């Protein structure tokens, strides 16, 4: 392995919220209501996410916790070869900061920015504003303590109770005084039937711009959410419908062939099994990010009206931005009267000037082939401990083989993220 002479900053890694967040960090008077509002159950024979007392069962094999299965040294092929009939434990570093630091050392990662897992999936859906505020305080206190194990290496996105803007801004003022927090988290989705294009969120953008904290935008698959919230649940519904049509086509039964619901035979089903794995994680991240950037940041002029607000849009890759800029520029020039706010028509120039960074992974072919188009606008993330994690050493080797020079590598793998989150970039992992 070649020696690198610069620090690597992981701008997209995750924690998995432990039960203690509800039993210890959540204030006593909210523990019952808090568990009804948002709760994750990891059972031996099945798992579910509970949101507003409604249970959403996992559709994946609960023996393999893909949201926290990767460990340093594992390959994606090894993850795919795990025995589905054997119970596999979650990676300890998902919830324990000392195990996390050991994994970061093994991965060649000097500093990391942490996102939630179950709060990312369900928190924005909580209906009771007071309970949401209590859960936000509990999460923020827990993650601040997590980062306190190595405050120079671990940093976090804070949860804000957007269900009540006054509460959200109060919590923003509280967490801004805690060094661990360098951004406020939002998931690009519909909240209470409205999107982030709504003027309701203008006070949030203004406060973030004033405080200097970044906006950390991170999608979730939506596997545990109602369909209307984001792209993921819709994708899963379509997969289910395709499976049903496939069943009918193979069996020769059903409404299309005059047969009844029981017309299919066991042999016909086994001849063409339905798609078993979820498709939402494949589609939702970049579709949700694409919509947020195109509609909120550009179309509804959030970038334009709050130019000093720093934004990181993580986990949805970055290569699609070239197409967005082209389409948005054509739209703003040909349909100017359809916009509520006066929109700049020089979209590409505005993007170049703006304070927005997109998350990328080292597997992106366009990043490797055209690094000069992306180098100043991307931040690298490992996705640890998800099943598709890559290490800092992996990213360095991959990009180095793409003939990207050291200065650009240092920028893409650390410098951009540290600047965007307002963190002093330092080296902690020995070469």
71-83 tens-digit pLDDT? 999 999 999 999 9
For residue 116, pLDDT beyond 50: yes
Place of tokens 């078993």: 276
pLDDT of residue 242: 67
The torsion region of residue 196 among left (phi > 0), alpha (psi -120 to 50) and beta comes to: alpha
Question: Can you tell me the mean pLDDT for 372-394?
Answer: 93
For residue 244, pLDDT beyond 60: no
pLDDT of residue 2: 55
Question: Can you tell me the mean pLDDT for 233-258?
Answer: 59
Q: What SS3 state is found at 123?
A: helix
For residue 258, pLDDT beyond 70: no
**Whole-number percent of the chain with pLDDT over 90:** 63
pLDDT of residue 426: 95
Question: Can you tell me the mean pLDDT for 224-239?
Answer: 82
Question: Can you tell me the mean pLDDT for 223-228?
Answer: 84
Which of 34-43, 242-251, 318-327 bottoms out in mean pLDDT, i.e. has the lowest?
242-251
pLDDT of residue 259: 41
Per-residue pLDDT band at 275 (split at 50, 70, 90): low
Question: Can you tell me the mean pLDDT for 241-266?
Answer: 47
| Angle between helical axes of 165-175 and 129-147 (0-180°, round to 10) | 20
Backbone angles phi, psi at 55, to 5 degrees: -95, 130
Which of 86-100, 326-340, 408-422 bottoms out in mean pLDDT, i.e. has the lowest?
326-340
Q: What average pLDDT does the structure give for the chain?
A: 88
pLDDT of residue 272: 46
Tokens standing for residue 327? 């389409």
Question: Can you tell me the mean pLDDT for 133-157?
Answer: 98
pLDDT digits (tens, 9 = 90+) for 10-64: 999 999 999 999 999 999 999 999 999 999 998 878 899 999 999 998 878 888 8
pLDDT of residue 31: 97
Per-residue pLDDT band at 332 (split at 50, 70, 90): confident
| Nearest CA among 45, 431, 100, 49 for reference residue 233 | 49
Per-residue pLDDT band at 413 (split at 50, 70, 90): very high
pLDDT of residue 324: 83
pLDDT of residue 322: 85
Question: Can you tell me the mean pLDDT for 315-327?
Answer: 86
Domains parsed from the chain with CATH numbers: 9-17+67-223+280-421 (3.20.20.140), 227-271 (no CATH)
| 23 prior amide bond cis, ω within 30 | no
pLDDT digits (tens, 9 = 90+) for 287-315: 899 999 988 998 889 999 999 999 999 99
pLDDT of residue 430: 81
pLDDT of residue 254: 47
- 134-143: buried (b, 16+ CB within 10 Å) or exposed (e) per residue? bbbbbbbbbb
- 186-198: buried (b, 16+ CB within 10 Å) or exposed (e) per residue? bbbbbbeeebbbe
pLDDT of residue 1: 47
**Whole-number percent of the chain with pLDDT over 70:** 90
| Strand-pair category, 378-380 with 356-360 | parallel
Q: ∠ CA 189-195-201 to the nearest 5 degrees? A: 115
pTM over 0.85: yes
């Amino acid at each position: 392995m070649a020696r690198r002479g610069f620090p690597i900053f992981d701008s997209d890694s995750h924690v998995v919220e432990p039960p203690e967040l509800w039993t210890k960090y959540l204030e006593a008077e909210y523990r019952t209501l808090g568990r009804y509002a948002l709760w994750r159950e990891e059972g031996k024979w099945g798992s579910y996410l509970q949101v507003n007392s409604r249970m959403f069962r996992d559709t994946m094999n609960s023996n393999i916790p893909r949201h926290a299965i990767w460990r340093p040294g594992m390959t994606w092929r090894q993850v795919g070869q795990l025995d589905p009939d054997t119970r596999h434990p979650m990676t300890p570093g998902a919830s324990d900061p000392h195990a996390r630091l050991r994994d970061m050392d093994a991965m060649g990662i000097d500093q990391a920015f942490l996102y939630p897992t179950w709060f990312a999936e369900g928190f924005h859906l909580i209906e009771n504003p007071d309970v949401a505020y209590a859960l936000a305080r509990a999460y923020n206190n827990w993650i601040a303590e997590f980062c306190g194990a190595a405050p120079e290496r671990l940093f976090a996105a804070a949860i804000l109770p957007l269900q009540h803007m006054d509460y959200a801004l109060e919590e923003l003022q509280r967490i801004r005084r805690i060094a661990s927090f360098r951004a406020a988290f939002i998931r690009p989705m519909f909240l209470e039937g409205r999107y982030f294009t709504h003027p309701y969120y203008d006070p949030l953008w203004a406060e973030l711009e004033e405080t200097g904290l970044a906006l950390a935008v991170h999608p979730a698959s939506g596997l545990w959410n109602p369909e209307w919230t984001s792209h993921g649940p819709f994708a899963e519904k379509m997969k289910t419908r395709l499976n049903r049509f496939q069943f009918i086509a193979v069996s020769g039964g059903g409404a299309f062939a005059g047969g009844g619901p029981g017309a299919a035979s066991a042999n016909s089903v086994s001849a063409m099994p339905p798609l078993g794995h979820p498709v939402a994680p494949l589609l939702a991240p970049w579709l949700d990010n694409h919509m947020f950037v195109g509609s909120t940041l550009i179309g509804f002029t959030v970038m334009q009206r709050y130019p000093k607000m720093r934004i990181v849009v993580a986990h949805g890759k970055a290569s699609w931005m070239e197409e967005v800029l082209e389409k948005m520029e054509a739209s703003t020039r040909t349909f100017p009267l359809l916009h509520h706010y006066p929109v700049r028509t020089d979209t590409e120039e505005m993007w170049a000037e703006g304070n927005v960074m997109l998350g990328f992974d080292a597997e992106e072919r366009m990043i490797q082939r055209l690094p000069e188009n992306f180098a100043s606008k991307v931040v690298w993330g490992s996705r640890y401990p998800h099943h598709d994690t890559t290490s800092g050493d992996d990213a360095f080797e991959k990009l180095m083989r793409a003939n990207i020079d050291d200065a650009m590598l240092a920028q893409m793998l650390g410098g951009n993220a540290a600047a965007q989150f307002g963190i002093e970039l330092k080296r902690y992992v020995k070469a």
